[in-house]
Chains A and B, each alone.
Chain A
Amino acid sequence: MDWTDDAIVLSLRRHGESAAIAELLTREHGRHMGLVRGSSRRHGATLQPGSTVRATWRARLEDHLGTWTIEPAKSRAGILLGEAAALAGLTSACAVTSLSLPERENHRPLYDALEVLADAFEAVEVWPALYVRWELGLLAELGFGLELEACAVTGVSQDLTHVSPRTGRAVCQAEAAPYKGRLLALPGFLRGQAARGPTDERAGDMNPHDVLDGLVLTGHFLETRVWRPHGKVEPEARQRLARRLEKLAQTGRIIE
């Protein structure tokens, strides 16, 4: 059996001397592994995480590991190698995808979103916020979407400033006030312009700390709802991304 699909490279692990096991997120077949025959060095440039490829998977039976035949489509690593923060974002996105998605389960919206995110790493102004939105989308796709449109207590859609770590629902500023220490901050850029209220002037805006708040928000729900139930922990690549963005936030720059 065989099929051909567009795919984004998530990881590459050397297998023996002249082969590698490539993990790809395919458009129609989800996260999928396979053996790449021939020298892994020959495919080195093509099979860097974040690259888009045209991949053909072949195996005798469906539950076999199978082999990939890879054609390069779009390489992204080359231009990002010198950009520390963008590279951290790219590796984090690939690691989070790899850790969170079940194998061989179609998640077309996530493929499309990762493609958009991977392209955005060159646009230094937008990718940090887009990354947080992408993780929110990942949660939603896996069935753990957050409800950020209205306050869980009052139902109002304005002045939303926090999120309940238990329910994943937004809470307005007035209701959140007594419990601020126990709630997660809802970043301005996730509230949206429509939600701007009289006491919420930062709604729709983005500053360095908002991105960090966003990472804490999505990180909490990924940890508690996606990774921990399966005995997994936050990938180190994501921790490095958070540390790098934190460092940039301290200098007042979210991007380099």
Chain B
Amino acid sequence: MASGTEIEQLINLLAKLPGLGPRSARRAALQLIKKKEALLLPLADAMAEAAEKVISCSICGNVDTVDPCAICASPRRDKSIICVVEEVGDLWALERSGVMGGLYHVLGGTLSALDGIGPDDLNVAGLVLRSEARQVKEVILAMNATVDGQTTAHYITDRVEHAEVKVTRLAHGVPVGGELDYLDDGTLAAALKARREF
């Protein structure tokens, strides 16, 4: 071992982060140690603070330091629209786009028989309750265009059918900048099937 156990521990923990392997974790650890005042201590403080304060929103399942989260509490949000996403990362992706003015609901995954994830493991009951509120007019199913994602979408459609809401889903097809020659035939088939008048 070329360094002390504390440093090895730091490297091992960094190596568990997405995008970092053992080598890149070692480089990151070295950089943190070299810039102790500028990087290591502020990062340690920020992480300790996040660990203490970050909680899951009791309404939508988003992560924030307040409950309800900033999105649920915002008066500028359109409360008649609930956009259902699989994970918090999907919520962040939609927020980055800046086009979703409504509220969100994070399911926490998708139905997956193989991984033993059933309806009870997802935050579906909360969504059903929310969709029954009088002010809610539309539920947007923003699941991934995968078999598991769309199976979950169909399941949710069944569950909210008694609520008087419009259920919509994201379009499937040619991505912006996509070239037909490079698209797989499944995407092309979905795009052709979902074509609309131009």
Contact = CB atoms under 8 A, between A and B. Distances in A.
B150 A13 contact: no
A63 interface: no
Interface residues of B, number: 26
A50 B115 CA distance: 18
Contacts of B172: 78, 81-82
Tell me the interface secondary structure of chain A in the complex.
mixed
A95 B111 CA distance: 13
Given A75-B185, A79-B190, A48 B146 contact: yes
B63 interface: no
A90 B147 contact: yes
Contacts of B184: 45-46, 72, 75, 78
Contacts of A84: 154, 157
Contacts of B118: 236
Given A17-B19, A49-B147, A78 B185 contact: yes
A200 B151 CA distance: 38
A240 B153 CA distance: 13
Contact of B186 (A17, A77, A98, A235): A77
Interface size class of A (residues with CB under 8 A): 20 to 34
Given A72-B185, A91-B113, A95-B113, A77 B146 contact: yes
A227 B113 CA distance: 15
Contacts of B193: 79, 82
B114 A13 contact: yes
A87 interface: yes
Nearest to A78: B186
A119 to B, nearest CB: 13
A44 B150 CA distance: 14
A50 B113 contact: no
Interface of A: 11, 13, 17, 44-46, 48-51, 72, 74-79, 81-82, 84, 87-88, 90-91, 95, 98, 235-237, 240, 247
Interface of B: 18-19, 111, 113-115, 118, 145-147, 150-151, 154-155, 157-158, 172, 184-190, 193-194
